[in-house]
């Protein structure tokens, strides 16, 4: 599970009232025997002992690479691949134990307001970067594919994308593909880049089925439908 639950508002003794049903459902999944792995991102840096101890959710602490259906899949929140100094500085502050301790001294209501404000500011900055975000995603995907990944999955960027990516180091060719298409075999290693969008507003998610991956959109009543429109080059 590539997360975006604003657990920045969670202290050692309180949790936010909003989103409680999400936590209940995660707990129910774990209790039913489903293995739940949660990858925190910039909105949920501090899940800590509550997620692992009370809910039974696994927290690997960063990107993971798994093998499913004969495919090597690299999964990350997506913010880790950014290299600009402003982002690195803010992430360093948010992960600093002293700063975390100061935040926990705030009243939970005040902490929740501050967390929501910084969350919205982060979303605005992500959307404003536009094509710059795509360049970052492509470069990171090429590197992972060149080192053996078949599929690279990222969240964080609040748009959907399914692309065939050349994995040769330094390769600049990225050919976007329709949902369900597979990478062509050839001397140059290729793989797939999947950007999930988000499950709060766009209600989009990825499905791995029969050795192929696709993006779906959740529609209450019809359950889901494929995300049919993919971006074209240029």
> Is residue 88 located within the same domain as residue 185?
no
> Could you read off the pLDDT of 120-145 as tens digits, one per residue?
766 666 566 655 788 888 889 999 99
> Could you read off the pLDDT of 17-40 as tens digits, one per residue?
777 788 889 899 999 999 998 887
Contact 139, 133 (CB under 8 A): no
> Is residue 4 located within the same domain as residue 109?
yes
- 13 pLDDT tier (thresholds 50, 70, 90): low
| End-to-end C-alpha distance for the chain, whole angstroms | 32
Task: Determine, yes or no, domain membership for 65.
Answer: no
Domain total in the chain: 2
> Is residue 15 located within the same domain as residue 94?
yes
> Could you read off the pLDDT of 149-187 as tens digits, one per residue?
999 999 888 788 899 888 654 443 444 443 344 444 444
Q: What whole-number distance in Å separates Cα of residue 222 and Cα of residue 211? A: 24
Q: What whole-number distance in Å separates Cα of residue 167 and Cα of residue 3? A: 27
pTM of the model: 0.72
The mean pLDDT value for 56-74 works out to 90
Beta partners for residue 67, in sequence order: 72
Residue numbers of the domain that contains 25:
1-60+81-129
Q: What whole-number distance in Å separates Cα of residue 207 and Cα of residue 1? A: 12
C-alpha closest to that of 79 among 130, 131, 122: 122
């Amino acid at each position: 599970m590539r997360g975006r639950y604003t657990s920045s508002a969670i202290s050692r003794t309180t949790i936010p009232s909003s989103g409680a049903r999400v936590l209940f459902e995660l707990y129910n999944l774990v209790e039913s025997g489903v293995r739940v792995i949660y990858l925190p991102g910039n909105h949920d840096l501090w899940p800590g002992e509550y997620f692992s101890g009370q809910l039974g959710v696994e927290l690997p602490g960063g990107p993971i690479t798994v093998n499913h259906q004969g495919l090597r899949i690299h999964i990350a929140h997506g913010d880790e691949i950014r290299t600009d100094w402003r982002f690195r500085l803010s992430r360093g502050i948010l992960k600093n134990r002293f700063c975390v301790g100061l935040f926990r001294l705030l009243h939970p209501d005040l902490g929740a307001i501050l967390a929501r404000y910084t969350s919205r500011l982060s979303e605005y900055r992500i959307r404003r970067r536009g094509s710059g975000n795509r360049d970052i995603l492509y470069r990171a995907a090429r590197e992972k594919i060149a080192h053996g990944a078949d599929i690279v999955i990222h969240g964080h960027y609040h748009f959907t994308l399914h692309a065939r990516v050349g994995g040769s180091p330094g390769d600049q060719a990225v050919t976007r593909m329709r949902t369900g298409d597979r990478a062509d075999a050839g001397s140059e290693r290729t793989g797939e880049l999947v950007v999930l969008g988000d499950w709060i507003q766009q209600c989009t998610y990825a499905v791995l089925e029969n050795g192929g991956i696709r993006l779906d959109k959740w529609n209450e009543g019809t359950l889901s439908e494929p995300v049919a429109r993919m971006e074209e080059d240029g």
